[in-house]
């Protein structure tokens, strides 16, 4: 999606319509780049709704860095849970957390002698962060009938997550922040920007530079790189690492030279698929 101001206004209005129906928001971020995959206006848009953060694709992220992010969000009063929506890891933890966020309401209903209804939840996040995957994972085969609840827009469906939670079947789609070139590079490196808006070689260069800095030993061992850069600000040294990886991965043109475009493509595909190891591209200490 190419986001323009009109799209953002429409997306925001759609979420605000859904917010009227729901009790708890599930904010989905990419564990490898939690802040870069976060909508810049999310606090304003969600307006104090009880909310939890899920750090998705944790299977691809560096667990040590993810733990740092969990502490980072805790400091802001937000519970963050690392999950892997594709395999379902930790997805069972979502319901108890939603119940904890809504406990005060449930208790007050019980005090009034009312039978508490199921918690109504909405998943929000930027494109490609895993919203549909998570909805399907939570749904199993339990997609509820349409519009049998007051205030439900026609066509809006609720998915039953056990008996205690109802989930809106369409997520809230938010836009990422683009103002910062580094954010764009991180989004492209992780595959959040599907269309290659940025040049592949730039994305590969950024990724390799970050990996040399934070995962240097692993990179060196994996690709048998003889000499690692001693100066991160020397682009030639980073390109040398890209060439070494390209050579190892067969990105060679006639004459034995490395095809840097092909090497870049291979690096990005390997990175996105987790073939370079569990790598996070952003740390709380980067800010
Ligand atoms: P949406 O645009 O937010 O609905 O994203 P999708 O649910 O379509 O997911 C985008 C891509 O990410 C798909 O290829 C999913 O298979 C993949 N994906 C989603 N969750 C995970 C996860 O936890 N781990 C990994 N490795 N891939 C995931």
Q: Secondary structure of the chain: what % helix, strand, coil (to 5)? A: 45, 15, 40
What's the rounded Cα separation, in Å, for the pair 26 and 124? 6
85 CA to middle of ligand 1, Å? 7
Helix (H, G, I), strand (E, B) or coil at 269: helix
For 173-194, the pLDDT digits (tens) are 999 988 889 999 999 999 998 6
* Bridge partner residues of 192 (DSSP): none
For 41-67, the pLDDT digits (tens) are 999 999 989 999 999 999 999 999 999
Q: What percent of the chain has pLDDT over 90?
A: 81
66 CA to middle of ligand 1, Å? 18
For 16-47, the pLDDT digits (tens) are 999 999 999 999 999 999 999 999 999 999 99
The residue count of the chain comes to: 287
127 CA to middle of ligand 1, Å? 9
54 CA to middle of ligand 1, Å? 13
pLDDT at 140: 81
| pTM for this entry | 0.93
Closest CA to 58 of 133, 166, 168: 133
pLDDT at 219: 92
Region 216-233: what's the mean pLDDT?
93
The residue whose CA has the least distance to atom 6 of ligand 1 is 130
Give the β-pairing of 172-173 and 51-56: unpaired
Examine the pLDDT at 196 and tell me if it is beyond 70: no
Residues with CB under 6 A from ligand 1: 56-57, 59-60, 84-86, 125, 127-133
Region 138-162: what's the mean pLDDT?
65
Examine the pLDDT at 154 and tell me if it is beyond 60: no
In contact, 49 and 195? CB cutoff 8 Å = no
* 147 compared with 155, residue with greater pLDDT: 155
Atom of ligand 1 lying closest to residue 127 CA: 2
Helix (H, G, I), strand (E, B) or coil at 82: strand
Choice from 124, 133, 167, 190 to test ligand 1 binding pocket (greatest atom count within 8 A of CB):
133
Choice from 38, 130, 193 to test ligand 1 binding pocket (greatest atom count within 8 A of CB):
130
For 87-132, the pLDDT digits (tens) are 999 999 999 999 999 999 999 989 999 988 999 999 999 999 999 9
């Amino acid at each position: 999606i190419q986001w323009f101001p009109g799209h953002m206004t429409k997306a925001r209005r759609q979420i605000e319509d859904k917010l009227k129906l729901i009790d708890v928001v599930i904010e989905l971020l990419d564990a490898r780049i939690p802040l870069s995959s976060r909508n810049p206006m999310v606090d304003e848009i969600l307006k104090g709704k009880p909310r939890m953060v899920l750090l998705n694709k944790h299977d691809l992220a560096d667990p040590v860095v993810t733990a740092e992010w969990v502490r980072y969000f805790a400091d802001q009063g937000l519970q963050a849970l690392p999950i892997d929506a594709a395999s379902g890891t930790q997805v069972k933890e979502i319901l108890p957390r939603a119940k904890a966020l809504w406990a005060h309401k449930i208790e007050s209903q019980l005090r009034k002698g009312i039978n508490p209804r199921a918690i109504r939840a909405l998943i929000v996040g930027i494109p490609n962060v895993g919203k549909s995957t998570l909805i399907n994972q939570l749904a199993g085969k339990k997609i509820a009938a349409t519009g049998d609840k007051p205030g439900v827009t026609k066509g809006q469906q609720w998915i039953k997550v056990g008996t205690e939670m109802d989930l809106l079947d369409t997520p809230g789609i938010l836009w990422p922040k683009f103002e910062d070139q580094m954010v764009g590079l991180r989004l492209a490196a992780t595959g959040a920007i599907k269309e290659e808006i940025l040049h592949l070689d730039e994305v590969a260069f950024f990724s390799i530079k970050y990996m040399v800095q934070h995962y240097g030993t692993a990179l060196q061992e994996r690709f048998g790189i003889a000499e690692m850069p001693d100066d991160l600000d020397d682009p030639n040294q980073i390109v040398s690492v890209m060439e070494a990886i390209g050579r190892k991965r067969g990105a060679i043109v006639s004459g034995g030279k490395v095809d840097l475009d092909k090497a870049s493509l291979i690096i990005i595909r390997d990175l996105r698929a987790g073939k370079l190891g569990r790598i996070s591209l952003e740390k709380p200490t980067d800010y």
